[in-house]
Amino acid sequence: MFSNYFNKRGTFRISLVLILLIAVFSFNAEEGGAATSTATDAETLLENFMHDAKTMRADFTQVVIDEEGRLDESATSSGVFLLQRPGKFRWQVTEPNDQLLIADGKNLWNYDVELEQATVKAIDASLSATPAMLLSGEDDVLEAFKVKSTFATIFADLPVQWLELEPVDTHNDFSKIRLGFSNNEIRLIELATNVGQVIRIEFSNVTRNLELDEKLFIFSAPDYVDVIGEAS
């Protein structure tokens, strides 16, 4: 989902292909243990989300776990995620730096406030197999993934049902994605990158199907901002 995690000074920054993105079931788990389920059940829960969630708002915290399983404190970020299906989302990082990722249905905008720079890329098939596009896209976006497994665990005292997917296109920045649902809501996303890291996104204060202003999904660059790329 991410192509570059850090800038030259080592500060964590979101990439063009975010997550963000992304993101509802029955489960059976016990404290400290895990339980099995069926892929059919987990797929149905994801399909229900795709069908029922027209909009979504959630706070998020994002962390990076390195190849040794250690939390990288320098790569923690937090902010607000807004979703409007099909094809629109707003991923706004407020800590540690102000950054904004917007999909407007045609283009993907990445705005770094500190650098005064914005990049834009047309949303096409190459971006369809990303977590944010998975959650915000049409039903057929699921064709970009293969279901690998489903399982249940406890995370932060919550029972979580996980659905593990792999992108059909092997040229992505990540090798697998796990979606974690608790109490019928998307709560966690984990991305295993091709360099051995895991990016974990935890959602809180999740609200579905509220009315969202269309302006939230439109990006207009200030005059002083350098824009790289061309909007379609």
Q: Best-predicted range by mean pLDDT among 29-38, 51-60, 212-221?
A: 212-221
Of 205, 200, 166, 199, nearest to 185 by C-alpha is 205
* CA 6 distance to own-chain centroid: 18
Given a cut of 70, is residue 175 above it in pLDDT?
yes
User: For residue 21, what pLDDT is reported?
Assistant: 39
The 10s digit of each residue's pLDDT in 136-159 is 545 455 666 777 777 777 887 888
User: For residue 41, what pLDDT is reported?
Assistant: 60
Cβ atoms of residues 200 and 65 within 8 Å: yes
* CA distances to 18, 54, 66, 72, 83 from 210, in Å: 23, 9, 36, 34, 10
Q: Best-predicted range by mean pLDDT among 41-45, 155-159, 175-179, 217-221?
A: 217-221
Percent above pLDDT 70 for the chain:
71
Quick one: fold of 35-206? outer membrane lipoprotein receptor (LolB), chain A (2.50.20)
Report DSSP letters for 103-150, one per residue: EESSEEEEEETTTTEEEEEE--HHHHTSHHHHHHS-GGGGGGEEEEEE
**Residue 96: is the preceding peptide bond cis (ω within 30°)?**
yes
Length reported for the chain: 232
Question: What mean pLDDT value characterizes the chain?
Answer: 75
Least confident of 66-70, 133-137, 161-165, 185-189: 133-137
